[in-house]
Structure 1
Amino acid sequence: MKRLATPDAASGILFTALGALGVVLSLQEQIGTAARMGSGFLPLTLSCGLLALGLVIIASGLRSTDNEAVEIGGMRPVAMLLLAVAVFALSVRNLGLGPAVFLATLIACYAEARPSLLRVLAFALLLALFCTLVFIRGLGLTVPALVLPWIS
């Protein structure tokens, strides 16, 4: 059991769990065939790849002779990035693409130990503007750029 606490095995477990979740969720969509792909075909394929990659990384971690254990402090970047993705997913429809990218970037920047507040705010603002221009104006994505709930 101690060998599963190595960084390789821990990341492999995370990849395997996310791949398995992706497989389960993508099976709720139409898969189709390789010639006529449904909406679940690509997510299923990518999730299977992530699951397989996770299993390979777990096997590599179990074979490793490295006794380095995962430290709780080392989990901060992973936790912040997962939280940023969750915040983006939960806020993009309610707040719009710009604010969702801004919030997710703010959270993701705190994966670093001591980020500069001014740099984080500037980066989040520029990334939100860039994503809004590229995805909404350039590619015509049908997500609102900004949702103002008090204005109907």
Structure 2
Amino acid sequence: MSEQALHKQNKMGRDVMAGAIFLVIALAFGAQALSYDMGRTIRMGPGFIPLTLAVLLGIFGIAVAVAGFRKHDTAEVGPVAWRGIFLVCVSLVIFGAYGRQLGLVPVVFICVFIVAMASVKNTVVSALAIAAALAVMCWLVFKVGLGMSLHTIGPAFGPFQVF
């Protein structure tokens, strides 16, 4: 087998494996979501959105796997983006661990800034602008638009707690 054919097979295998991983995760989350009440479209239960997302992830996984079987290009696969993987994971941990203490706007700002810095194409200024824009958008959608009872500024800020 030539080196080019081996590379093509290796890349195809990666996409098929990634699609299979997405599908397994979707099945696991879908099975868990089915243990909750689905409700109706007009009055959704706690399992409705997780099941919907699991179905979408499953469709995405199938699409990635099928695309892996159809690949005919021989583009080089670059190195693994460890910086991006690490910063996205750190951001998720911060959001989960400190979301309630910091409040919606600060935790979204911090997490989006960290994720924006995962790309080498972003500067600190552009990451700050992205973080500020997304924090404002989240506040508008979740607090103003949907009226959710989230702290805008959390108890960690003490007297600066506005809403």
Provide the TM-score with structure 1 as the length reference.
0.72
Structure 1 residues 74 and 65 mapped into 2: Cα distance closer, same or farther (>3 Å)? farther
Q: 2:145 maps to which residue?
A: 138
Q: Which runs of 5+ in 1 are unaligned?
A: none
1:119–1:65 distance in 2 versus 1, CA, 3 Å:
closer
Distance 2:52 2:133 in 1: 33
CA–CA distance in structure 2, aligned partners of residues 83 and 13 of structure 1: 25
Instruction: Say if 2:103 and 2:152, in contact at 8 Å, map to a contact too.
Output: yes
Distance in 2 between residues matched to 1:129 and 1:119, nearest whole Å: 15
Determine the C-alpha separation between the residues in 1 that align with 2:123 and 2:77.
Answer: 27
Cα distance, 1:21–1:99 mapped onto 2, change above 3 Å: farther
For the residue of structure 2 that corresponds to 1:30, the secondary structure is coil
Shift of 1:122: 3.2
Residue 126 of structure 2 corresponds to residue 128 of structure 1: no
2:116 counterpart of 1:147: no
- Confirm or deny that 1:50 pairs with 2:50: no
Q: Which amino acid aligns with 1:110?
A: M
**1:130, 1:4 → 2: CA distance?**
39
Unpaired runs of 5+ residues, structure 2, are: 1-8
Is structure 2 residue 13 aligned with structure 1 residue 30? no
Equivalent position of 2:5 in the other structure: none
The structure with the largest alpha-carbon Rg is 2
Instruction: Please give the secondary structure, in 1, of the residue aligned with 2:155.
Output: coil
Alpha-carbon separation, structure 1, partners of 2:137 and 2:113: 15
Deviation at 1:95, TM superposition (A): 1.6
How many angstroms does 1:57 deviate by?
A: 1.7
Q: Does 1:61 align with 2:68?
A: yes
- Aligned counterparts of 2:41 and 2:121: Cα–Cα separation in 1: 47
